[in-house]
């Protein structure tokens, strides 16, 4: 007898189940790879500032072995060596960072490396320094600077310097006070509290991070100043020629940026190169600044009923008394 039709149904169902298992396994593996890649990318972002080592005539392995031998408590995430022989060290924690910055120079000198310099990159150090600065505006000229540190110490703040800003000619004092705290925590607490001198109150505000890229006014390249310009050749911001933009004869033609070849001046903030550098600076600020949210404070608002609640006058108290008497009489009747 011929076999019954439909006998292969169980085989089809088993094959479909196998395909479902394979699809589930593939999906799980893909998700696992995504999670691993996300974890790896998050770990690659260093939150502690790197250290630059200049003048060390060593190979990467030799520097690694010196740290391993003489600084057993130091943990380093990565060591990078540039083509110019400059090392970049990424410490794993604050203790390792401080040990490398303060003690590693002596260890290198004891091992024949006497002309070594260890420092934090200037761009990152600038971010750290800005986090310690606050400004107090509209401070009366009659108030001497010497009274401000005393007032800050009385409220428990630690500051490095208090300076009254002057005009550009440095002859006329202004009403703005620049206060540099010992650290960013002191600065942020001071900004929240403000300056209190006896019975006088002055709100404080934090210094803003500079997000504008540095551009050489000679060659118009980014990340360098004219003082250190290698070409020392003036470049026109309009046409790219070897002259100043005020002396350009191509005023009737469209501008051509010498950095991106776009139809705008090389000093324009609409230039893609400018926006790229601005984005890089903002990324560095987000990475190395202890706080990315703006810390602000303001004087108490006299019109705010929460900060200054209304006081009951005599008539109001009398009305409240009568109101309570009426309620008590109603309760007694009931």
Rounded-to-integer distance, Cα 213 and Cα 320, Å:
65
Q: From first to last of its 334 residues, what are the pLDDT tens digits of the chain?
A: 444 554 455 454 554 555 544 444 444 443 433 433 333 333 344 568 899 999 999 999 999 999 999 999 999 999 999 999 999 999 999 899 999 999 999 999 999 999 999 999 888 889 989 999 999 999 999 999 999 999 999 989 999 999 999 998 878 999 999 999 998 899 999 999 999 999 999 999 999 999 999 999 999 999 888 888 888 889 999 999 999 998 898 877 789 999 999 999 999 999 999 999 999 999 888 888 876 555 555 555 556 665 555 555 555 665 666 667 777 777 776 6
Beta-carbon contacts of 210 under 8 Å, excluding residues fewer than 6 positions away, are 126, 130, 281
Q: How far apart are CA 235 and CA 219, in angstroms?
A: 5
Domain 127-206 listed as CATH 3.30.70.330: yes
Give residue 310's pLDDT. Answer: 57
Rounded to an integer, what distance in angstroms lies between the CA atom of residue 317 and that of residue 85?
82
CA distance 24 to 296: 51
| Helix, strand or coil, per DSSP, at residue 270 | coil
Residue 314 zone, left/alpha/beta (φ > 0; ψ -120 to 50; rest)? alpha
Largest CA distance in the chain: 118
pLDDT of residue 46: 52
In the prediction, which pLDDT does 228 show? 86
Residues 6+ apart with CB under 8 A from 173: 141, 164, 165, 166
Break the chain into its structural domains and give their ranges: 51-120, 127-206, 217-270
In angstroms, rounded to a whole number, what is the distance separating the alpha carbons of residues 44 and 132?
Answer: 27
Region of 232 please: left (phi>0), alpha (psi -120 to 50) or beta: left
Q: Tell the CATH topology of 51-120.
A: Alpha-Beta Plaits (3.30.70)
Contact of 291 with 284, CB cutoff 8 Å: no
Distance between CA 107 and CA 167 in Å, rounded?
47
**Count, residues in the chain:** 334
Task: Tell me which H or E stretch contains 118.
Answer: strand 117-119
What is the model's pLDDT at position 169?
Answer: 84
Tokens for 224, please give them.
């360098």
Phi/psi at 131 (5° precision) = -65, -15
Task: Spell out where the chain has E strands.
Answer: 51-54, 76-81, 87-91, 117-119, 133-136, 159-166, 173-181, 195-197, 200-202, 204-206
Is 51-120's fold the same as 127-206's? yes
pLDDT attached to residue 31: 40
pLDDT for 231: 85
Q: Residue 314 has what pLDDT?
A: 52
What is the pLDDT at residue 307?
A: 56
Q: Is 133 helix (H, G, I), strand (E, B) or coil?
A: strand
């Amino acid at each position: 007898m011929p076999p019954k039709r439909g006998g292969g149904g169980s085989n089809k169902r088993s094959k479909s189940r196998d395909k479902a298992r394979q699809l589930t396994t593939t999906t799980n593996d893909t998700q696992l790879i995504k999670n691993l890649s996300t974890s790896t990318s998050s770990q690659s972002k260093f939150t502690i500032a790197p250290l630059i080592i200049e003048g060390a005539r060593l190979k990467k392995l030799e520097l690694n072995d010196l740290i391993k031998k003489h600084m057993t408590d130091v943990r380093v995430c990565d060591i990078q060596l540039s083509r110019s022989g400059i090392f970049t060290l990424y410490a794993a924690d604050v203790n390792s960072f401080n040990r490398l910055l303060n003690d590693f120079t002596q260890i290198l000198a004891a091992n024949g490396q006497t002309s070594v310099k260890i420092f934090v990159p200037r761009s990152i150090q600038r971010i750290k320094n800005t986090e310690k600065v606050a400004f107090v505006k509209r401070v009366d000229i009659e108030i001497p600077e010497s009274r401000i540190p005393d007032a800050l110490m009385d409220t428990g703040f630690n500051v490095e310097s208090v300076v009254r800003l002057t005009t550009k000619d440095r002859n006329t004092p202004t009403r703005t006070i620049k206060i540099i705290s010992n650290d960013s925590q002191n600065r942020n607490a001071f900004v929240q509290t403000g300056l209190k001198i006896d019975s006088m109150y002055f709100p404080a505000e934090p210094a803003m991070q500079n997000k504008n890229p540095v551009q050489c006014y000679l060659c118009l390249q980014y990340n360098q100043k004219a003082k250190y310009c290698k070409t020392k050749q003036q470049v026109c911001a309009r046409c790219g020629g070897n002259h100043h933009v005020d002396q350009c004869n191509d005023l009737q033609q469209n501008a051509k940026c010498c950095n991106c070849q776009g139809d705008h001046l090389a000093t324009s903030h609409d230039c893609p190169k400018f926006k790229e550098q601005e984005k890089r600076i903002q990324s560095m600020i987000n990475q190395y600044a202890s706080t990315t949210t703006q810390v602000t404070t303001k004087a108490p608002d006299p019109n705010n009923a929460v900060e200054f609640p209304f006081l009951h006058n005599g008539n109001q108290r009398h009305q409240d008394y009568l109101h309570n008497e009426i309620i008590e009489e109603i309760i007694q009747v009931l």
